Structure 1
Amino acid sequence: LFTFASFLLFYGPNTYWIYNTGYNKTQGMFDYYPEYYNIATGQSLGSPQRNGWVYTREFENVSVRVDLENKTASITQYRSVVELPTNVALNGTATQSSTDFGGEPSRAIDGNTNGAYSGGSVTHTANESSPWWQVELDSEKTINEIIVYGRTDACCADRLSDYTVTVMDSDSNITFTESYTSVPNPSLSINTNNIQGQIVIIQSNDSTALSLAEVQVLYIQ
């Protein structure tokens, strides 16, 4: 704790870490602040303050105190840490109304948001009335946000211009449904306000082919 608290007090913009020697070594000690620490501490609110042998420094989520004379330290959390969302669609099962040109439904949950069809990661249904795509999650989740990535090829990007996003819970009750007329450019973020859901459906309201680059379903446990 003492070492980490001291690190938080004195980091700056110029240190780098060397890992290729088999152990961690620093140049310009306490100058590098790893990005992932921000998750717990938040950004610094200023430089460290000194009172004799005691140094303090305030962050968005914590207060750091180090007593160099007695070699004691404390890190006090006074704000809750923001949890990072998980894309639970990646572990789901995707299906769609039909498949054409090799555009399998699983392409929209492969983690690749590339919207060019030549990239091999975009779904494609047949040209039909109200085609649909859906993902069923491994269990019912609290869904915070859905992000839809559309096809970006010039020929076909505007196909996804009138569609409905629906969420159903594990009993197939509709917990969210909304229609959209804006083309994802390249994506559309939908705030679902922490609804419960297990099935996410995207359905075109036109007679056309439905193509999706990626659908992310974000969940905080």
Structure 2
Amino acid sequence: MKNPLNLLLACLLCSSFMFAQDALDGKVFRIKAVSEKANGRCLDADAGTLGRNGTKIQLWDCHSAAGPNQDWLFEKVGDNTYLIKSQVSPTNVIALDAHAAEMNTNGGKVQLWTTHGGANQQWLVKPNGNGTYRISSVAPKAGGRSLDADSHNGMNGTKVQLWSQNGNPVQSWALIESRNGRPVQAATNVAEGKTATQSTTAYNSPASNAVNGNTSGRYSRSASSNDITHTSDANGSWWQVDLGEVYDIEKIVIWNRTDDCCWDRLQNFYVTAWAFPIAGNIKEGYGTSGPHSFTSGSHPSMTINTEFVGRYIRVWLDNDTKPLSLAEVQVFGVPIRK
């Protein structure tokens, strides 16, 4: 006779498997680009052509307030396969659609169309392994082509198209759960205690001092009471933190030195965020903000508001042989859905 307890456990496990909630199904997301030129811009239904079939899909700066043309409802129709419905309609009657006549061509149009649930409105959403996703058409005619941000652009209005899968960042997308146009989860400082590095180290002032939670900004010859980072005098000095995973970054707060000698060194600096390792100091693209400068020693912090998506955050000086010295770097972000 079978053990009743074993039968009960088996039943419970079976039920858990059958009714496990899909991570995406029924949720609303903002879909953000993570490519070099378009980092942080949102998948956007062109407001100028809303209300009719064929509405253009593009990249645009993410709205700071509610913007239903940047909110997308995922509705599961199969294994890792979804209809992606625009929230510009309260009844979810329009969906992301691969243009039937162009889906077999690189550069094929992606648009909004009345929901019919056909293969050209079904999208395979697969994780890339770093927290981002690849979104591909399941229509046989599309040959597995993926949502792709035109790599020649990156500005507002960048074309979102179908393109053969190539593994490039232009085909990687971050999904940030949204409610009324804003992330569901509150942003917190995700940099403290993470691994930090810098181009060089001088005056016994390691990179880790900028992620230790101390914003006092004073230098001391004693390592136990020294609260700053410091590089040597070198061209293009930089400091960087690895957040450990990809985040939707709301703001970055830079804390400067507060001792009288050196607060004014932090001039013409840039901040870069990217989902992939940063190979160098790059002014354009990769989620770069700047130049920024501190203008007073009495205001030790600067807040840089962003819509970037990134794992690696770099603060750097451009063609300047001054040392880079920081008190603290706080990165306020929300983990992107995995």
Same fold (TM over 0.5): yes
Equivalent pair of 2:277/2:312 in contact (CA under 8 Å): no
Return the match for 1:178 from 266, 290, 300.
290
Q: Look up the match of 2:328.
A: 214
Cα offsets for 1:175-214 (capped at 9, x unmatched): 3332113347200000002x21011111123211111000
In 2, Cα distance between equivalents of 1:171 and 1:213: 23
Measure the CA separation in 2 of the matches of 1:171 and 1:114. 30
Structure 2: distance between partners of 1:82 and 1:186 = 31
Q: Which residue, 100, 104, 109 being the options, matches 2:202?
A: 100
Unaligned runs of 5+ in 1: 1-78
Q: Deviations over 1:35-78 (max 9, x none)?
A: xxxxxxxxxxxxxxxxxxxxxxxxxxxxxxxxxxxxxxxxxxxx
3-state SS in 1 of match to 2:287? strand
1:143 alignment partner in structure 2: 249
Residues in 1 aligned to 2:247 and 2:198: alpha-carbon distance in whole angstroms: 21
Please state whether the residue corresponding to 2:230 is helix, strand or coil: coil
Distance in 2 (CA, whole Å) between partners of 1:100 and 1:155 is 16
Which residue of structure 2 lines up, in the alignment, with residue 158 of structure 1?
264
8 Å Cα contact 1:91/1:138 also seen in 2: no
- Structure 2 Cα separation of the partners of residues 143 and 162 of structure 1: 22
Match of 1:116 in 2: 218
Q: Structure 2 CA distance, aligned partners of 1:207 and 1:93? A: 25
Equivalent positions of 1:60-75 (< 5 A) are none
Please tell me whether the aligned partners of residues 192 and 212 of structure 2 are also in contact (alpha carbons under 8 angstroms): yes
Query: Cα distance, 1:83 vs. partner?
Result: 5.1
Distance 1:171 1:136 in 2: 9
Aligned to 1:199: 312
Q: Compared with structure 1, are the counterparts of its residues 187 and 125 closer, same or farther at alpha carbon in structure 2 (3 Å cutoff)?
A: same
Letter in 2 for 1:187: S
Aligned counterparts of 1:114 and 1:146: Cα–Cα separation in 2: 17
- Overall identity of the aligned pairs, in %: 38
Q: Is the 8 A contact 1:139 1:170 kept in 2?
A: no
Contact 1:105 1:123 in 2 (8 A): yes
Change beyond 3 A, Cα 1:83–1:139: closer
Taking structure 1 as the reference length, the TM-score comes to: 0.59
Matched residue pairs, number? Answer: 142
Change (3 A) 1:155 1:85: same
Aligned to 2:301: 187
Name which of 165, 174, 190 aligns with 1:88. 190
Residues 89, 137 of structure 1: 8 Å contact kept: yes
- Counterpart of 2:209 in 1: which secondary structure? helix
Does the Cα contact within 8 Å between 1:166 and 1:174 map onto a contact in 2? yes
Give the structure with the higher percent strand: 1
What does residue 51 of structure 1 align with? none
1:161/1:144 Cα in 2 relative to 1: closer, same or farther (>3 Å)?
same
State the 4+ residue runs in structure 1 displaced beyond 6 angstroms: 79-82
